[in-house]
Every structure is written in C-alpha cells, then in structure tokens.
C-alpha cells in the first residue's frame, strides 16, 4: 500500500514538473506591465523579463527609478510614472499602455508595488496609520487591475498579484496583514470571475526576503516612533522592557527567516507570466513553505498558542 501511494505521489510530481516546464511562444509580442519597479522584486523582474525578450512596461514612482532601470535594460523596455494611490495616475498609465499594446491587448499585469510600515500592536496605531498602506497594498492592486483588465481579457492573459505569507496568517498587528488578506480575497474572486474569458490569475506569497520591506533599521525606527507617540498609560500597560524585547526579537527573526536570494520570488513571478500552465499560488522562501503556510492550516488554537509563546508579552499579561 505504501509503495502504491509513493508511486502515485512520485508520478504526480514528475507530471507536474513536466507540465510546468512549457513556456508561451512569441514573447517578443507580449507586453507585461509591472508596478513598483524602482527597486526590489519589481526592478529585478522588469530586467529579467526584458532579457527573456518580453516587452516590459515598468511603472516607477520616481524619475530616478525610471532612469536607472532604462540604463540597465534594452530599448524594448518602457517606463512610465505611476502612483498606484492616485487614480488619475493609474488611468493615465492605462491610457498609455492601451496606445502601446494595440489590438493584441496586454499579456500580463504584475501588481508588485507595496509598503510595510508602520507595523506594531493594534493599540499602538490609529486609523490614519492604516489608510496609506491600504491605499498602496490593496487599493492600488484593485485600481491598477481594473484599469487594464479589458486589455488583459483581449489577450487572454495573466494577472499576477503579490501578496505575502501574512495574507494567510497575522502574527503581528497593523495594516500590512490587513492589506494582504484583502489582496488574497480580491485575487480569489477575480480568478473565478475572469476564468471564463481565458484569463489566468496567480498569487505570489513570499516569506521574508531582503528588500526594503524587511529593512531592519527602517522597521526598528518605525517601532520606536510608534512607542514614542503612545500615551503614558499604554506604555505602562506594556512595561519598560517591552520595546527592547520587541526589537531584539525582530533582529532574531530576521536573522533566521530572511532570504537574500530575491530571484526565488522573481522566478515564481516569471513562471506565472510565461508558463503555459501557471500555478494559482506560489510560496517562495523556505519559511513560507515549511513554517508560515503549514501554521496557517492549523487550528486557530494551535497557531495562537505558537504566536503567543514566541511574541513578547506586555507587563499586564494574564497568560
């Protein structure tokens, strides 16, 4: 019985591997629109797809980002200014793209732009701490997608949404997890809605990688700023040692989990764009595969116990 099951599992993985090796043809005729190309995953993906022969349209927030990307790419790659929180900017970019791609439509859009700060316990934050991040990470994904969806349908193309393992589990407070849970919901509903039109929708759920999102100095500075703004009674609830314990734990977690090989994520993005049979979800990073995602499938009582055990506890904790 065991050998039979093992044989089936082996056959399945070999079959899936073979199926996923097939790539789309005529890459030189396929336009790919990527947001957040100033740095990180978006920048690497733009340059990678450009080398593979795709026609890349890279949305950058800054002129510096546009200039530097142009210098490191071929003449095929186009850049445009894009602020995903500004609907006028999003609409203007969509109009430019429509003029460029013509009747063939847009092969893929990659919603990569995102921010991660501020992040901290829920009672350290205000609604104004939530709004800017939700505008980028969730509102931007929705607005950009809808602005070019007709072009994607015309090409029977792809929508690739960059979420996070923290769209599956929420071990810390703040708007980041809220925004990524929202991306997951938008991704799933969109995937079902556009499947009849031949459009494929994929979600990328990376673990910890060495980008601006996981910059230790920026994260620590943000936490200290939140702490400094707290009313004294809230500080008293948490205790004098809570801040330093949190910063120490942040260091430890990033040392253990953070991966420096950004191409693991870019490779998943490229597969979602270029494979004839892309997956619906990708989980780059060992921590995503072997820690965060398995934890997300566990009963809530177990995942809560794990998070509470390893998170710093306030002075008034009853646990």
| Residues designated catalytic | 176
Three-class SS state of 264 = helix
d(CA 27, CA 11): 31
CA 44 to the chain's CA centroid: 14
Farthest CA pair distance, the chain? 64
Three-class SS state of 117 = coil
d(CA 51, CA 54): 8
From residue 130, alpha-carbon distances to 29, 126, 134 in Å are 40, 7, 6
Dihedral sign for Cα atoms in the order 96, 98, 99, 101 = positive
Q: E strands within the chain?
A: 31-34, 55-60, 78-81, 108-111, 158-162, 200-204, 281-282
Closest CA to 169 of 304, 296, 298, 299: 296
DSSP code for 43: H
């Amino acid at each position: 019985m065991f050998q039979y099951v093992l044989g089936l599992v082996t056959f399945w993985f070999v079959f899936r591997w073979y199926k996923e090796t097939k790539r789309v043809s005529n890459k030189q005729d396929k336009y790919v629109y990527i947001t957040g190309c100033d740095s990180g995953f978006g920048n690497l993906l733009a340059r990678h797809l450009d080398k593979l022969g795709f026609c890349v349209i890279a949305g950058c927030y800054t002129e510096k980002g546009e200039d530097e990307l142009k210098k490191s790419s071929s003449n095929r790659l186009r850049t445009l200014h894009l602020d995903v929180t500004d609907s006028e900017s999003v609409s203007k970019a969509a109009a430019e793209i429509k003029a460029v791609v013509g009747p063939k439509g847009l092969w893929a859009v990659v919603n990569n732009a995102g921010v991660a700060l501020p992040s901290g316990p829920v009672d350290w934050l205000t609604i104004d701490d939530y709004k800017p991040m939700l505008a980028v990470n969730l509102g931007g994904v929705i607005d950009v997608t809808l602005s070019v969806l007709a072009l994607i349908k015309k090409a029977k193309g792809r929508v690739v949404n960059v979420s996070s393992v923290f769209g599956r589990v929420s071990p810390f407070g703040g708007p980041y997890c809220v925004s990524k849970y929202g991306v997951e919901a938008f991704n799933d509903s969109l995937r079902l809605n556009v499947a009849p039109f031949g459009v494929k929708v994929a979600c990328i759920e990376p673990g910890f990688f060495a980008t601006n999102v996981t910059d230790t100095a920026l994260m620590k500075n943000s936490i200290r700023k939140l702490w400094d703004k707290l009313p004294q009674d809230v500080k008293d609830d948490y205790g004098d040692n809570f801040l330093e314990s949190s910063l120490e734990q942040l260091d430890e977690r990033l040392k253990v989990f953070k991966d420096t090989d950004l191409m693991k994520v870019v490779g998943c993005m490229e597969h979602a764009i270029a494979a004839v049979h892309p997956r619906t979800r990708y989980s780059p990073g060992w921590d995503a595969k072997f820690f965060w995602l398995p934890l997300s499938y566990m009963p809530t009582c177990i995942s809560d116990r794990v998070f509470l055990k390893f998170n710093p506890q306030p002075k008034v904790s009853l646990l």
